[in-house]
Amino acid sequence: MKILLIGGGGREHAIAEGIKKSKHNPSLYALMAKKNPGIAALCEDFLLEKETEVVKIVEYAKARNIEMAFVGPEAPLAAGVADALWEAGIPVVGPRKACAVIEFDKAWARNFMKKYGIEGCPAYEVFTDEVPAHAFIEKLGDVAVKPSGLTGGKGVKVMGDQLPDLKAAREYTSELLEKGSVVIEERFIGEEFTLQAFVDGKNLAFFPAVQDHKRAYEGDLGPNTGGMGSYTDAGEILPFMLSEDLEKAKKIMQHTVTALYEETGTGYQGILYGQFILTASGPKVVEFNARFGDPEAMNVIPLIETDFVEIMSAVVKGTLESLPVKFSRKATVCKYAVPAGYPDNPEKDSEVVVGDIGEASVYYASVYEKEGRIYTTGSRAVAVVGCAETIEAAEKIAQNALENIRGKLFFRKDIGTVGLIQRRIDHMKEIRG
Ligand code: GLY
């Protein structure tokens, strides 16, 4: 089978590896903006092109007789790449635009949750004018402010975090309103976790829960990033969760998929990503994304024991119900090495040398290859993943590997350490009283 992968980051490197591990021996083709050395090494052929160039992507897929595609990032989904490939007769893992809207229009997503009574929706309103928006901020008193459009997860600001007070929340709202509509919502307090699932239009196959770390520096300090690293435990839940928390989150995702079909008349086929906060009253939805998380994909894809290409086929045919998707019961820790100065003033075009990574896996992200050498682009560069019986052991594997990745880079030593996990557990205990 010939499979086309769209996207060229760390997440897509993990997807490429998943596809290539299939016993069906698929031929992999890739479309990426820059040459990711990890993906390139796994491909028969690749095209360097913008991932939103719908016409060129379809032309390339037809020219290579592609039989199935996987769309990694959100931008091509928002551009309608999945729709165009389906129209060309190529089944796609990655939702059509009508359903992917759940990620790229935050106002739509909240209105949709409200309309269908999906649990975990905060008090919120959508605004286009400053005066009522400011009044709503005062009324709620503690808010999250979200631009309505696709921002790669980077435009959301929260009080007690990036917004020190109500004045800052009002000012940020006014700034966003100059560009479009804004969602103001109640701020949730708790521990974040990510729940991802393969979805075939109706049925969901859930991955183990993951916790990402958005802040750039140790101790959850510094500016927000795309995610500096993440971990899973050796089961479905995280150490600060109860099984019932996970069950509630799963129900919310199942309800969302059913409601998406009712609302759009289109089955959601792809990866659904639920970003939750576990609060004193259970899991609440921060947002939904229409693709794997990055770095979360790198935690969970290596754990899949079921054949990846068979899962992809079940997603596009709507037959997930009859394919048990199994995972190995191991803990994982993923850590990103990022350019010095990231995210505000990153070192670009700086060489990265990957030495002996021991037992860890390595995933190339925002780097490019030139004359056999690897260079940074300005975003997260290289991720390493440790996989072991416990989080502690997985962390050591990842940490040892990072010590042998050289360049003008830094990473968070604390992700997955006993101390940080204990802080999460203590925080949740305090919240639950
Ligand atoms: N890790 C956050 C995201 O992928 O949106």
What pLDDT, on a 0 to 100 scale, did the predictor assign at position 40? 97
- The answer to whether the CB of 211 is under 6 A from ligand 1 is no
Indicate the top mutation candidate among 104, 210, 212 to test ligand 1's pocket, ranked by most ligand atoms within 8 A of CB: 212
Whether residue 222 is found in the same domain as residue 248: yes
Look over the chain and give the mean of its residue pLDDT values, rounded to a whole number.
96
Confidence check: pLDDT of 1 > 70: yes
User: Is the sign of the CA dihedral 131, 136, 142, 148 positive or negative?
Assistant: negative
Q: Give pLDDT tens digits for 54-72.
A: 999 999 999 999 999 999 9
What pLDDT, on a 0 to 100 scale, did the predictor assign at position 156? 86
Which residue range(s) make up the domain with 132?
A: 123-186
Q: Residues 8-21: what's their mean pLDDT?
A: 98
What pLDDT, on a 0 to 100 scale, did the predictor assign at position 320? 98
Whether residue 197 is found in the same domain as residue 246: yes
Confidence check: pLDDT of 218 > 60: yes
Tokens 């009253």 correspond to what residue? Answer: 281
Of 170, 186, 202, the position where a domain reaches its end is 186
CATH of the domain at 68: 3.40.50.20
pLDDT band for position 155 (cuts 50, 70, 90): confident
Q: How far is the CA of 293 from the centre of ligand 1 (A)?
A: 4
Whether residue 208 is found in the same domain as residue 245: yes
What pLDDT, on a 0 to 100 scale, did the predictor assign at position 148? 84
Higher pLDDT, 149 or 340: 340
Q: What are phi and psi of 336, to 5 degrees?
A: -95, 135
Output the pTM of the full model.
0.96
Whether residue 204 is found in the same domain as residue 220: yes
- Per the domain annotation, does 104 fall within a domain? no
Whether residue 208 is found in the same domain as residue 328: yes
pLDDT band for position 260 (cuts 50, 70, 90): very high
SS3 31: strand
Q: DSSP E strands: which ranges in 52-163? A: 68-71, 92-93, 124-127, 143-147, 157-158
Tokens 């850590």 correspond to what residue? Answer: 335
Q: Which of 72, 74, 71 is nearest to 86 (CA)?
A: 71
Of 57, 75, 94, the position where a domain reaches its end is 94
Q: Residues 244-267: what's their mean pLDDT?
A: 98
pLDDT band for position 190 (cuts 50, 70, 90): very high
**From atom 5 of ligand 1, which residue's Cα is the shortest distance away?**
293
**C-beta of residue 381 within 8 angstroms of C-beta of residue 339:** yes
What pLDDT, on a 0 to 100 scale, did the predictor assign at position 161? 85
Confidence check: pLDDT of 359 > 70: yes
Q: Give pLDDT tens digits for 284-336.
A: 999 999 999 999 999 999 999 999 999 999 999 999 999 999 999 999 999 99
Whether residue 334 is found in the same domain as residue 286: yes
Confidence check: pLDDT of 152 > 80: no
Q: Which of 32, 215, 80 is nearest to 15 (CA)?
A: 32
Number of H helices, E strands in the chain: 14, 25
Q: Residues 19-45: what's their mean pLDDT?
A: 97
**C-beta of residue 263 within 8 angstroms of C-beta of residue 95:** no
**From atom 2 of ligand 1, which residue's Cα is the shortest distance away?**
293
Tally of structural domains, the chain: 3
- The answer to whether the CB of 38 is under 6 A from ligand 1 is no
- The answer to whether the CB of 153 is under 6 A from ligand 1 is yes
Q: Residues 394-418: what's their mean pLDDT?
A: 97
**C-beta of residue 79 within 8 angstroms of C-beta of residue 62:** no
- The answer to whether the CB of 74 is under 6 A from ligand 1 is no
Distance CA 4, CA 60 (A): 9
Whether residue 153 is found in the same domain as residue 283: no
Whether residue 143 is found in the same domain as residue 182: yes
CATH of the domain at 240: 3.30.470.20
Whether residue 277 is found in the same domain as residue 374: yes
Q: How far is the CA of 64 from the centre of ligand 1 (A)?
A: 31
Whether residue 168 is found in the same domain as residue 267: no
Distance CA 423, CA 358 (A): 29
What pLDDT, on a 0 to 100 scale, did the predictor assign at position 245? 98
Whether residue 139 is found in the same domain as residue 276: no
pLDDT band for position 150 (cuts 50, 70, 90): low
Q: Which of 411, 400, 333, 342 is nearest to 376 (CA)?
A: 342
Confidence check: pLDDT of 269 > 70: yes
pLDDT band for position 154 (cuts 50, 70, 90): low
Q: How far is the CA of 299 from the centre of ligand 1 (A)?
A: 12
% of the chain with per-residue pLDDT over 70: 99
C-alpha torsion angle, residues 287, 291, 296, 301 (rounded to 10)? 150
